[in-house]
């Protein structure tokens, strides 16, 4: 089978398309023939070494495809089942082995590309808005990168829950996209100071919660956008990691809460995984939740997808497609 391997951390050019034997499922596992793969910033973090892992690194944390075979003890899945998953590295490949407990079945109305696009970012948006800071009607939130994959889904779910939503974007075109997602206000941060705008829009109060996937370049101003006892939810670092800081800043800025969550800790049981994935895939299949797949690339062009993602040339989800055996 073909897969993408990183033997040395660095730029997109470090991603190598290699030929290797297809894996064999062990007890409790399933072999998945992959059809579509989601591209995410976490893949970039592992490729560059920002997130540490033994070399060689296998990239990719979500995919959708068909069960090819199952290992001993697997009874809930069968060859031919259409499945999707997230939070298991190694999806940049034609085949992969996944613990059966991590796989969810895809609704009949959903194709592989949309299923792959929905899993990681959709469940991330779900835990952010339903658990980390559980939004309710009347709450106000600020969503950074509101035209992107996770940002756009977070905006939509926040609207489902009755919140007032502000989103930051880099261009007027992305502002239009964020508004289509449901943002009440789209702030073009290259033209406006988003802190000043948030204070103006809230009458100086600030928002209840900031959902920040950007990190270094937005962190301090995001804290300034919060009301007293508001929550800063830092769930990514596309601009780089936040430098060390004095925790006393949280006191000085209004007894703020700061959390750095990850999906793994919000889908720790099969029941929680089924809840989040079931909601997300069901909403996409019914049209209640709109996905925006910006671009698709063949697996062999994964490096081009990373360049586009890192270069902020996208507005929505990037998908790798698998041809040949898959």
55-107 confidence digits (pLDDT tens): 999 999 999 999 999 999 999 999 999 999 999 999 999 999 999 999 999 99
Q: Is residue 153 part of a domain?
A: yes
Query: How confident is the model at residue 311, as a pLDDT?
Result: 85
User: The domain that contains 165 carries what CATH number?
Assistant: 3.40.50.720
How much of the chain exceeds pLDDT 70, in percent?
99
Closest C-alpha among 57, 21, 62, 12 to residue 39: 62
Q: Is residue 128 part of a domain?
A: no
Q: Cα–Cα distances in Å, from 129 out to 8, 17, 138, 254? A: 37, 37, 13, 22
Closest C-alpha among 79, 63, 73 to residue 31: 79
Query: How confident is the model at residue 326, as a pLDDT?
Result: 44
For residues 161 and 251, membership in a common domain is answered with: yes
Which of 227, 242, 260 is where one domain is finished? 260
Rounded CA-CA distance 278/269 in Å is 14
For residues 177 and 256, membership in a common domain is answered with: yes
At 156, the pLDDT band (50, 70, 90 cuts) reads: very high
- Judge whether residue 316 has pLDDT over 90: no
The contacts of residue 285 (CB under 8 Å, 6+ apart) are 107, 109, 110
Burial class (CB in 10 A: 0-12, 13-18, 19+), 234: buried
For residues 33 and 58, membership in a common domain is answered with: yes
Other CB atoms within 10 A of residue 37 CB: 33
Q: Is residue 127 part of a domain?
A: no
- Where would I find the H helices in 81-215? 112-127, 149-160, 172-181, 194-201
Q: Is residue 293 part of a domain?
A: yes
What is the tens place of the pLDDT at every residue in 189-207?
999 999 999 999 999 999 9
At 218, the pLDDT band (50, 70, 90 cuts) reads: very high
pTM score, two decimals? 0.90
Counting every residue, how long is the chain? Answer: 326
For the residues 229-247, what does the mean pLDDT come to? 92
For residues 149 and 191, membership in a common domain is answered with: yes
Q: Work out the mean pLDDT of the chain and round it to a whole number.
A: 94
At 323, the pLDDT band (50, 70, 90 cuts) reads: confident
For residues 214 and 302, membership in a common domain is answered with: no
User: The domain that contains 280 carries what CATH number?
Assistant: 3.90.180.10
For the residues 171-187, what does the mean pLDDT come to? 95
For residues 142 and 221, membership in a common domain is answered with: yes
At 324, the pLDDT band (50, 70, 90 cuts) reads: low
For residues 169 and 238, membership in a common domain is answered with: yes
For the residues 130-149, what does the mean pLDDT come to? 96
Which of 260, 283, 303 is where one domain is finished? 260
For residues 193 and 291, membership in a common domain is answered with: no
Per the listing, tokens 């990037």 go with: 318
Cα 186 off chain centre by:
20
At 325, the pLDDT band (50, 70, 90 cuts) reads: very low
Q: Cα–Cα distances in Å, from 248 out to 90, 251, 257? A: 40, 5, 11
For residues 94 and 63, membership in a common domain is answered with: yes
Other CB atoms within 10 A of residue 240 CB: 12
| Segments forming the whole domain that contains residue 209 | 136-260
- Domain count along the chain: 2
- Judge whether residue 285 has pLDDT over 70: yes
Tokens of 151: 């940002």
Q: Is residue 126 part of a domain?
A: no
The contacts of residue 10 (CB under 8 Å, 6+ apart) are 47, 48, 49
- Under 8 Å between Cβ of 209 and 183: no
For residues 193 and 236, membership in a common domain is answered with: yes
For residues 147 and 193, membership in a common domain is answered with: yes
- Judge whether residue 30 has pLDDT over 90: yes
Q: Note every long-range contact of 194-200, with CB atoms under 8 Å and residues 24 or more positions apart, other chains counting.
A: 194/142, 194/168, 194/218, 194/221, 194/225, 195/221, 195/224, 195/225, 197/166, 198/142, 198/166, 198/225, 199/225
Q: Is residue 116 part of a domain?
A: yes
Q: Is residue 326 part of a domain?
A: no
Q: At what angle do helices 41-48 and 302-310 cross, to 10 degrees?
A: 100
Q: Is residue 130 part of a domain?
A: no
For residues 37 and 114, membership in a common domain is answered with: yes
Which of 260, 283, 311 is where one domain is finished? 260
């Amino acid at each position: 089978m073909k897969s993408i391997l990183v033997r040395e951390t660095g730029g997109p050019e470090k991603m190598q398309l290699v030929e290797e034997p297809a894996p064999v499922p062990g007890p409790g596992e399933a072999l998945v023939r992959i059809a579509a793969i989601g591209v995410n910033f976490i893949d970039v973090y592992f490729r560059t070494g920002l997130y540490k892992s033994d070399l060689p690194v296998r990239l990719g944390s979500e995919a959708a495809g068909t069960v090819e075979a199952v290992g001993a003890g697997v009874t809930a899945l069968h060859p031919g089942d259409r499945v999707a998953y997230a939070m298991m590295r190694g999806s940049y490949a034609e085949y992969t082995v996944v613990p059966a407990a991590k796989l969810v079945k895809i609704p009949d109305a959903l194709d592989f590309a949309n299923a792959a696009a929905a899993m990681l970012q959709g469940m991330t948006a779900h835990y952010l808005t339903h658990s980390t800071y559980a939004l309710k009607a009347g709450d106000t939130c600020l969503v950074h990168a509101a035209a992107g994959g996770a940002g756009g889904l977070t905006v939509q779910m926040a609207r489902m829950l009755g919140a007032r939503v502000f989103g930051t974007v880099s261009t007027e075109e992305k502002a239009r996209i964020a508004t289509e997602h449901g943002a009440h206000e789209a702030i073009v941060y290259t033209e406006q100071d988003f802190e000043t705008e948030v204070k103006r829009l809230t009458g100086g109060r600030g928002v209840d919660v900031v959902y920040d996937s950007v990190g270094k370049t937005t962190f301090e101003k995001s804290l300034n956008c919060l009301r007293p006892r508001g929550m800063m939810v830092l769930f990514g670092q596309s601009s780089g990691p936040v430098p060390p800081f004095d925790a006393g800043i949280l006191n000085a800025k209004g007894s703020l809460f700061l959390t750095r969550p990850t999906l793994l800790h919000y889908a720790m049981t099969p029941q929680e995984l089924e809840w989040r994935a079931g909601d997300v895939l069901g909403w996409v299949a019914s049209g209640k939740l709109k996905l925006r797949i910006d671009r698709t690339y063949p697996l062999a062009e994964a490096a081009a997808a990373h360049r586009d993602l890192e270069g902020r040339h996208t507005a929505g989800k990037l998908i790798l497609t698998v041809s040949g055996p898959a």
